[in-house]
Amino acid sequence: MLLGYGHDDRSCSYSSLRAQLALSEPPARTALTILVDKEEIGSVGATGMQSRFFENVVAELLALTGHGDGTLALRRCLMGSNMLSSDVSAGFDPSFASAFEPKNSAYLGRGLTFNKYTGARGKAGSNDADAEYMARIRACMDAHDVAWQTAELGKVDQGGGGTIAYILAGYGIHVIDCGVPVLSMHAPWEVISKADLYEAYRGYQAFLTM
């Protein structure tokens, strides 16, 4: 295991960027890795996901590639996009087992974790990935022999958390949360499994070539 500061969310940012840089050939579709901050305080500011940076970049790409420079072209492009929201998940902690649902929790050493939904009190304030998109993601991971698991962020009314996925879903993008399970999330020192970190890297690579 790896003990360190800021695994939430450096572990996912690191593995996402390494996956993008490791692509040996250009993918069939345009692939982007977006690194933003301020997620813990609402994704605000010019470097947060609430800014217009992402859609401005996509608009520039459309204009430069001759696919139109209007609002409609941008909206159609975003609605036709797929995304992984790379964020850590809460790893099952036997010291605080009462805060988890054991049969629907992430476990260290079992691979990349997918959260169909996040939020508080169940799904409140979250994205909720559709079943068809989740099936495509599962098929992609299985085709590349990536170790993966599914989970929720703790027991309803006791756990919960948010990511940037709901912001991207507002554009009509197909998006699901996925990342590395973490113990002692938001503590000065957090714990992850290096096996999960490696599977996250492999999973992000597989997704970029999907």
DSSP letter assigned to residue 179 = E
Residues 6+ apart with CB under 8 A from 59: 69, 74
Query: Per-residue pLDDT tens for 63-119?
Result: 999 987 789 999 999 999 999 999 999 999 999 999 999 999 999 999 999 999 988
Residue 20's pLDDT is 96
Residue 104's pLDDT is 94
Residue 43's pLDDT is 93
Please give the Cα distance from 45 to 59 (Å, whole number).
Answer: 20
What six digits make up the tokens of 130? 């559709």
Please give the Cα distance from 47 to 35 (Å, whole number).
Answer: 9
**Cα dihedral across residues 12, 165, 84, 105: positive or negative:** positive
Coil vs helix vs strand at 210: coil
Residue 36's pLDDT is 94
pLDDT band at 7, cuts 50/70/90?
A: very high
Using alpha carbons, list the distances in angstroms from residue 136 to 23, 72, 90, 139.
21, 27, 24, 5
CB-based contact 92:102 (threshold 8 Å): yes
Instruction: For the chain, state the CA radius of gyration.
Output: 17
Please give the Cα distance from 96 to 203 (Å, whole number).
Answer: 29
Closest CA to 83 of 146, 202, 169, 197: 169
Residue 70's pLDDT is 83
What six digits make up the tokens of 67? 């696919």
Residues 6+ apart with CB under 8 A from 43: 36, 49, 50, 164, 167
Closest CA to 39 of 167, 156, 193: 167
Query: Per-residue pLDDT tens for 173-201?
Result: 999 999 999 999 999 999 999 999 999 99
Query: Per-residue pLDDT tens for 112-170?
Result: 999 999 888 878 888 999 999 999 999 999 999 999 999 998 888 887 888 999 999 99
What six digits make up the tokens of 31? 């692939």
Domain boundaries, the chain: 2-40+82-208
CATH class of 2-40+82-208: alpha beta
Residue 121's pLDDT is 80
Query: Per-residue pLDDT tens for 15-61?
Result: 999 999 999 888 989 999 999 999 988 899 999 999 999 999 999 99
Residue 84's pLDDT is 97
Residue 1's pLDDT is 96
Residue 122's pLDDT is 77
Beta strand pairing call for 82-86 and 174-179? parallel
